[in-house]
C-alpha cells in the first residue's frame, strides 16, 4: 500500500461520550477508490467513527488525516471545518431529507450555498444525478411523497452533488423495506465500481461480500478485525467475527 494512495488515515483515535469510551485507540488506513464496509453489533461505535472522519463529531484524542490534511487542526477554524465536511458526502439511516424542500432543492441547497453555483448550474447537475440514481421523475415532489427507497436515492444524489472525494454511508438500508433495499444497494455498487471511495456501515453482508474491498469488524469501540473481504468471509481470524458472520449468514 503506497503512502500517496492513502486517502483516510486514522491515528490513535479515541472518543468519549461523557464517561463512555465509545472509540478506543482506532487505527485505520483507507486507500483511494476502495469500498470499506464497517460492521459489528450495534453500539460498537461504527456511526461515531464515520462522524469523526468528516468532522461532525469533535473527537477528543488522536487524529484523522484526509488527503494529508489533519481533521483535528480544523476544530479550531470553523471555515476549515466546513470546507473539510464539504469534501464528504454522507447518507443516513433515516435519509434526513429536508422535508420542507422539494427533491430538487434538497440536492441543490449545498452546491448553491457552499460552492456558490448558480441556480441553473446546480439544477442541471442535480437532474443528471437524479437520472443516475433512477428517479428523475420525482424531482419536483416533496420527500414525504416518495417511498423510502426513493428518498434514500435522493439522499445519495444530494451527497454526490457536492462532488465529494469520499462517501460515508451510515446504515443506509436499515430503515428500508426489503424490496427497496436492492435499488439502493445497486446504486451504491455502481458508485463503488466507478471508483468512488466509500465507507459503509451496514449489516448487509451480501453487499459486503459482493462489493467491499475490505471489511472492518468493530465491537465495543475497538476494531477487532480488518481484512480484505475474501479473507474476512472465508477465514475470519477472531472468534467474535466468526460468531458475527455465522449469525448474520444464518439469518440470511
Partner 1 sequence: MLNYTFDWSVIWRHPYGGWLLEGILITIQLSILAWGIALFLGVIIASLRNLPQKWVKAVAAAYVETFRNIPLLVQLFFWYFAAPELLPYSARQWLYQNIEPTTLSYYTAIISLSLFTSSRIAEHARSGFSSIPKGQYLAAFSTGLNTLQVYRYVIIPYTIRVFIPPLTTEFVTIFKNSALAMTLGVTETTFMSQRIDSYTFHGLEATIGAMVIYLLISLSVSGLMGFVERFLYIPGLIRKR
Name which of 97 and 241 has its Cβ closer to partner 1.
Answer: 97
As measured in angstroms, the least distance from the Cβ of 143 to partner 1 is: 7
Task: Name the helix (H) or strand (E) containing 198.
Answer: strand 197-201
Name which of 74 and 215 has its Cβ closer to partner 1.
Answer: 74
Segments of 18-158 assigned E as strands: 20-31, 35-39, 61-66, 69-70, 88-91
As measured in angstroms, the least distance from the Cβ of 187 to partner 1 is: 18
Name which of 98 and 193 has its Cβ closer to partner 1.
Answer: 98
Q: Contact 159/90 with Cβ under 8 angstroms?
A: yes
As measured in angstroms, the least distance from the Cβ of 120 to partner 1 is: 19
As measured in angstroms, the least distance from the Cβ of 52 to partner 1 is: 13
- Enumerate residues 6+ apart whose C-beta is below 8 A from 185: 173, 204, 206, 207
Contacting residues toward partner 1, per CB under 8 A: 51, 54, 56, 78, 82-83, 85-90, 92, 94, 96-100, 109-110, 113-114, 142-145, 155, 158-159, 162, 168
Name which of 200 and 205 has its Cβ closer to partner 1.
Answer: 200
- Enumerate residues 6+ apart whose C-beta is below 8 A from 2: none
User: Look-up: residue for cell 461520550?
Assistant: 17
Return the biggest CA–CA distance within the chain: 55
Amino acid at each position: 500500500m503506497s503512502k500517496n494512495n492513502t486517502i483516510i488515515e486514522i491515528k490513535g483515535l479515541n472518543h468519549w461520550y461523557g464517561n463512555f469510551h465509545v472509540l478506543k485507540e482506532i487505527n485505520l488506513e483507507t486507500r483511494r477508490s476502495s469500498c470499506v464496509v464497517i460492521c459489528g453489533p450495534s453500539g460498537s461505535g461504527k456511526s461515531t467513527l464515520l462522524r469523526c472522519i468528516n468532522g461532525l463529531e469533535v473527537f477528543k484524542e488522536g487524529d484523522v488525516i484526509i488527503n494529508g490534511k489533519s481533521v483535528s487542526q480544523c476544530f479550531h477554524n470553523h471555515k476549515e471545518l466546513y470546507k473539510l465536511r464539504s469534501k464528504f458526502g454522507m447518507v443516513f439511516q433515516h435519509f434526513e431529507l429536508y422535508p420542507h424542500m422539494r427533491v430538487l432543492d434538497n440536492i441543490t441547497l449545498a452546491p448553491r450555498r457552499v460552492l456558490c453555483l448558480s441556480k441553473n448550474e446546480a439544477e442541471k447537475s442535480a437532474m443528471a444525478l437524479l437520472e443516475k440514481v433512477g428517479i428523475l421523475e420525482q424531482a419536483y415532489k416533496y420527500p414525504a411523497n416518495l417511498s423510502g427507497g426513493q428518498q434514500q436515492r435522493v439522499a445519495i444524489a444530494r451527497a454526490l452533488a457536492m462532488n465529494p472525494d469520499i462517501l460515508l454511508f451510515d446504515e443506509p438500508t436499515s430503515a428500508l423495506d426489503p424490496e427497496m433495499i436492492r435499488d439502493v444497494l445497486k446504486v451504491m455498487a455502481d458508485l463503488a465500481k466507478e471508483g468512488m471511495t466509500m465507507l459503509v456501515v451496514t449489516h448487509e453482508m451480501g453487499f459486503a461480500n459482493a462489493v467491499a474491498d475490505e471489511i472492518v469488524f468493530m465491537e465495543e469501540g475497538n476494531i477487532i478485525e480488518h481484512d480484505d473481504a475474501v479473507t474476512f468471509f472465508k477465514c475470519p481470524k477472531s472468534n467474535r467475527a466468526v460468531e458475527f458472520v455465522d449469525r448474520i449468514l444464518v439469518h440470511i
